[in-house]
Amino acid sequence: MGTVNTSDFRKGLKVQIDGDPYIMIECNFVKPGKGQALYKCKLRNLTRGTVLDRTYKSGDALDTADIEEIDAQYLYKEKDKFVFMDNTSYEQYEVANEIVDDAWKYLKEGMLCKMLLHDNNPLGVTPPNHVVLKVEYTEPGVRGNTATNVTKPAKVDTGAEILVPNFVEAGELIKVDTRTGDYIERVKE
């Protein structure tokens, strides 16, 4: 485990405080008129989700967190757990709903995802940035409604509900941005 100096503090940095892994979600450099420069940081605990506000003086150091990111394939859902497999070691991980969070909306069997591990325990799952989903059900579009940006809810094959433009019909394939949950375009089979 290495250390990271304040000059290397940035958003997205993974550090360890009191044995727990944290990710830096905000870091602001403050130079008062007198005295040392300060780094005001917000850190999110990767296991509990709590947020810490900490101020560090220039020259302080933190331990880097022993976190690895692996490629994992989503296999299936079993009750309140999602099962993933490491693509290199073929080890399987059962991941709780709380850790998968909103990513479940985009998970399809066989899909490759990124998984964060701390001491071989899953901390988070990130699906690909864009996924193709099939619209299972949506209300038919209203004829003559040509206003731009008119959306309607659509239920997709993962069980999630996504807002789509009025012209999208049931049975069509759509591309969705998993970072925002926004509809991108229709996809031809």
* CATH level 3 topology of 3-64: SH3 type barrels. (2.30.30)
Q: Quote the pLDDT of residue 35.
A: 82
The gap between the terminal CA atoms of the chain, to the nearest Å, is 48
Q: Quote the pLDDT of residue 168.
A: 86
67-126 homologous superfamily:
Nucleic acid-binding proteins (2.40.50.140)
Concatenated DSSP letters of 57-120:
ETT-EEEEP-EEEEEEEEEEEETTEEEEEETTT--EEEEEHHHHGGGGGG--TT-EEEEEEETT
Q: Quote the pLDDT of residue 135.
A: 92
Query: pLDDT of 144-158, one tens digit each?
Result: 665 667 888 999 998
Q: Quote the pLDDT of residue 175.
A: 93
- Residue whose structure tokens are 């993933």: 84
Find out whether 141 and 169 touch, Cβ atoms under 8 Å: yes
Concatenated DSSP letters of 1-45:
--EEEGGG--TT-EEEETTEEEEEEEEEEE--SSS--EEEEEEEE
Q: 3-64 and 130-187: same fold?
A: no
pLDDT in tens, the chain (189 residues): 688 888 888 888 889 888 888 888 899 988 888 888 899 999 988 887 789 899 998 888 998 888 888 999 999 988 889 999 998 999 999 988 888 888 889 999 999 999 988 888 888 888 999 999 999 998 887 666 656 678 889 999 988 999 998 888 889 999 999 888 899 998 887
Q: Quote the pLDDT of residue 136.
A: 92
Q: Which residues face 132 on adjacent strands? A: 175
Q: Quote the pLDDT of residue 177.
A: 92
Rounded Cα distance between 98 and 123, Å, is 10
Structure tokens at 6: 């304040």
Q: Structural domain boundaries of the chain?
A: 3-64, 67-126, 130-187
Rounded Cα distance between 99 and 19, Å, is 19
CA dihedral for 103, 24, 114, 122, sign (positive or negative): negative
Q: Quote the pLDDT of residue 69.
A: 86
Residue 119, amino acid = D
Q: Quote the pLDDT of residue 50.
A: 87
Pick the CATH number of 130-187 from 1.20.210.10, 3.30.70.3040, 3.40.50.2000, 2.40.50.140: 2.40.50.140
